[in-house]
Structure 1
Amino acid sequence: MFRPGLSSLLALSLTSFPALANDADQADTKLEQLVVVSFDGAHDNKLWEKSRAMAKRTGAHFTYFLSCTFLMTKENRKSYQAPHEKRGKSNVGFAPDNSDVITRLDHIWQARAEGHDLGSHACGHFDGAKWSADDWAQEFDFFRNTLRDAWKNAGVEEREPLEWRDFVEKDVVGFRAPYLSSSPALDKALRDFGFGYDASPVSKGPTVPGKSDGLVRFALPLIPEGPSARPVVAMDYNLYVRHSRGKEDVGNSATYEERTLAAYRAAFEKQYSGERIPLQLGFHFVEMNGGAYWRALDRFLTETCSKPDVACVSHREAMDIMTKRAKAVETTSEGL
């Protein structure tokens, strides 16, 4: 989630993928419009089921940013040590039992087979703005080791898929910081640890993802919302704070759903009929205000993903698509 007032908007001093800016000029057809949807936390197993069903119904692929303490039970929470925190502490809790962990692991593996992307949301959901690069490296180690050994720790080592460890070591290449709280130390730690992309930044509007020092940067945009079209970060938690000051208001759930859907539609149409910069939307595994934001997402994807020249993709897929575009432009330029 993005904590209002935590920090000013993160600056994006990046080198954009040249293809997104230039290859539309070299062809008569427009770029494919990318829609990139992600979920932070990835814990509630019922919402794993719900999101995967939504994806199958709409043709979308998602990014799931997992908090690794949901692969630890309350009984073994003392195995986790976050930087500068008490041992066994987590801001988001732990799994209630091994059965819950095993079900989550099954969802992760099935989601991978369905084309979804698993990224890291660190472990205990702490604000690491003041952490050092070594602190972050410690947290990243906990994440990778916990994910790698999760089947064994849950007592079902015999159920671990054959390719599980390769998946953990090679396929989990994306990260989003808790509270979207970034720093130069985090940047260094991400590069040193071998991450391919960072989805922590926020931008004033849809922005062409950029590449800097080997890391692709995806930014959640501010989008106009509500009767006065005031900008808000395109994330369910920020809409929740905007609409009901962060308190459940189920009585107005339908109103919040319609406002959210209208904001998504407007943000999409501006890009779809214009520059076709990827549109990124963020969510959590919590159905706030009676599920208003998840319902709006479902309706938005249902009507959007089937449109011509639209691809509803994960961050990993978007990164791969843009890399291929950039290489194609370089090849074309070399031949001129």
Structure 2
Amino acid sequence: MPHPFSVLALSLAVLAAPVAAAFADPPKSPEPTPAKPKQIVLVSFDSAREISQWERSRALAKRTGAHFTYFLSCVFLLSPETRGAYTAPGKGAGKSNIGFAASKQEVADRLEQIRLAAAEGHDIGSHACGHFDGKDWSKADWLAEFGAFRRIFENAYAINGISPEPPGWRDFARHAVTGFRAPYLSTDKALYEALPEAGFHYDASGVSNGPDLPPTKNRTTRFALPLIPEGPKAKPVVAMDYNLYVRHSGGFEKPSMADEFADRAYHAFRAAFDAQYSGNRLPLELGFHFTQMNGGTYWNALERFAGEVCVKADVECISFRDYVERQRGGERQVAVGG
């Protein structure tokens, strides 16, 4: 027979068990997964010449909610009669690697496109003036080129005898341009010494092995077009239409292959985007020109791409200027749903 005290102890232990359980900590809920930042896509255009491409890009932006950066070459604000207003470092007056505007009317039309684009929230950057390779320029040379750009941009209406000049144009022109991309993406040490002195906040002349966060050095945020896999063998190529044009057709027009090239370009853009969208969400940069290479192949690919990704709730297609202003303002990327 069990000892009376043993029975009593067992009974008390059984009674105490539910009480102890009642005072135990409830199971913890799993930690919430932090929301990913929005995926940033940075689309830019170099030279910004053809009026029809201004209109086409602005229409694309309106359809998708995107904001673009237009790197303007200032020679396209000079007509054949006013070309002498520009002198490049080491060159005679009126010299340019890419010509000038075709007429005074074309200058007026382009100025109107610039004004409209800026009013719609787009970023106007500098692509210098005459599209010369500045890899051997001195700091003084770069400052002279930057000075020519700003002078011609600010005084474009007066230089060309176009009237009326819109109210506030000169104030806009003095303050609007905060970014630069070097012709041919060709840079030197002197460029990066000159950029902050000339009032630029960012440079977009770099090339990187892949998407990355742009560093800020010497007060200048430095963006880089990434290498992205492209084609059947996924060979890396700079994420810019001209580099795809050279890859696809050796830099010569092949209109019969336009559909194939457009499909390849689109899939390269989309694969680069998807890798970041499902991964670390580093900013993705894509560069274009107003030139219709291979029959407009690369613009067709851009429109297909932007129409799919820029409309996503957790994607922002923004300008370089907006990206830099956010970072300088201490603003973190907006979280999905925030």
Normalised by the length of structure 1, the TM-score is 0.87
User: 1:327 offset after TM fit, Å?
Assistant: 5.6
Q: Tell me how far apart the structure 2 counterparts of residues 105 and 154 of structure 1 sit (CA, whole Å).
A: 11
Q: Report what 2:183 is aligned to.
A: 178
Equivalent residue for 2:212, pick from 207, 217, 222 = 207
Q: Tell me how far apart the structure 1 counterparts of residues 51 and 306 of structure 2 sit (CA, whole Å).
A: 21
Q: Tell me how far apart the structure 1 counterparts of residues 331 and 250 of structure 2 sit (CA, whole Å).
A: 45
Q: Report what 1:296 is aligned to.
A: 301
Q: What residue identity is the alignment partner of 1:307?
A: K
Equivalent residue for 1:240, pick from 216, 239, 245 = 245
User: 1:68 offset after TM fit, Å?
Assistant: 0.2
Q: Report what 2:55 is aligned to.
A: 49
Q: What residue identity is the alignment partner of 1:99?
A: Q
Q: Report what 1:318 is aligned to.
A: 323
User: Which digits, 9 at most, give the CA deviation of each residue in 1:191-237, with x for residues without a partner?
Assistant: 11110000001001001011111101111000000000000000000
Q: Report what 2:203 is aligned to.
A: 198
Are 1:81 and 2:87 matched, yes or no? yes
User: 1:96 offset after TM fit, Å?
Assistant: 1.1
Q: Tell me how far apart the structure 1 counterparts of residues 273 and 326 of structure 2 sit (CA, whole Å).
A: 19
- If asked which structure has higher relative contact order (CA below 8 Å, sep 6+), I would say 1
Q: Tell me how far apart the structure 2 counterparts of residues 328 and 86 of structure 1 sit (CA, whole Å).
A: 47
Following superposition of structure 1 onto structure 2, how do residues 1-336 of structure 1 map, counting pairs within 5 Å?
28-158=34-164, 160-324=165-329, 326=330
Structure 1: gaps (5+ residues):
1-25, 330-336
Q: Secondary structure at the match of 1:75?
A: coil
User: Which digits, 9 at most, give the CA deviation of each residue in 1:49-100, with x for residues without a partner?
Assistant: 1111111111111000000000001122122110112321100100111100
Q: Tell me how far apart the structure 1 counterparts of residues 282 and 303 of structure 2 sit (CA, whole Å).
A: 21
Normalised by the length of structure 2, the TM-score is 0.87
Q: Report what 1:10 is aligned to.
A: none
CA gap 1:85/1:268 in 2 versus in 1, 3 angstroms? same
User: Which digits, 9 at most, give the CA deviation of each residue in 1:80-122, with x for residues without a partner?
Assistant: 1101123211001001111000000000000001110000000
Q: Secondary structure at the match of 2:81?
A: helix
- Of residues 315-324 and 178-187 in structure 1, the stretch that sits farther from structure 2 once superposed is 315-324
Q: What residue identity is the alignment partner of 2:174?
A: E
User: 1:328 offset after TM fit, Å?
Assistant: 5.8
Q: Tell me how far apart the structure 2 counterparts of residues 48 and 327 of structure 1 sit (CA, whole Å).
A: 30
Q: Tell me how far apart the structure 1 counterparts of residues 33 and 163 of structure 2 sit (CA, whole Å).
A: 52
Aligned residues: 302
Structure 2: gaps (5+ residues):
1-31, 334-338
CA gap 1:298/1:327 in 2 versus in 1, 3 angstroms? closer
Q: Tell me how far apart the structure 2 counterparts of residues 53 and 137 of structure 1 sit (CA, whole Å).
A: 35
Q: What residue identity is the alignment partner of 2:66?
A: A
Q: Tell me how far apart the structure 2 counterparts of residues 328 and 148 of structure 1 sit (CA, whole Å).
A: 34
Q: Tell me how far apart the structure 1 counterparts of residues 179 and 268 of structure 2 sit (CA, whole Å).
A: 27
Q: What residue identity is the alignment partner of 1:28?
A: P
Q: Report what 2:6 is aligned to.
A: none
Q: Report what 1:4 is aligned to.
A: none
Q: Tell me how far apart the structure 1 counterparts of residues 108 and 176 of structure 2 sit (CA, whole Å).
A: 20
Q: Tell me how far apart the structure 1 counterparts of residues 98 and 332 of structure 2 sit (CA, whole Å).
A: 43
State the percentage of identical aligned residues: 55
Q: Tell me how far apart the structure 2 counterparts of residues 167 and 174 of structure 1 sit (CA, whole Å).
A: 15
Q: Tell me how far apart the structure 1 counterparts of residues 175 and 84 of structure 2 sit (CA, whole Å).
A: 28
Q: What residue identity is the alignment partner of 1:61?
A: H
Q: Report what 1:333 is aligned to.
A: none
Instruction: Report if the CA contact (8 A) 2:82-2:159 is conserved.
Output: no
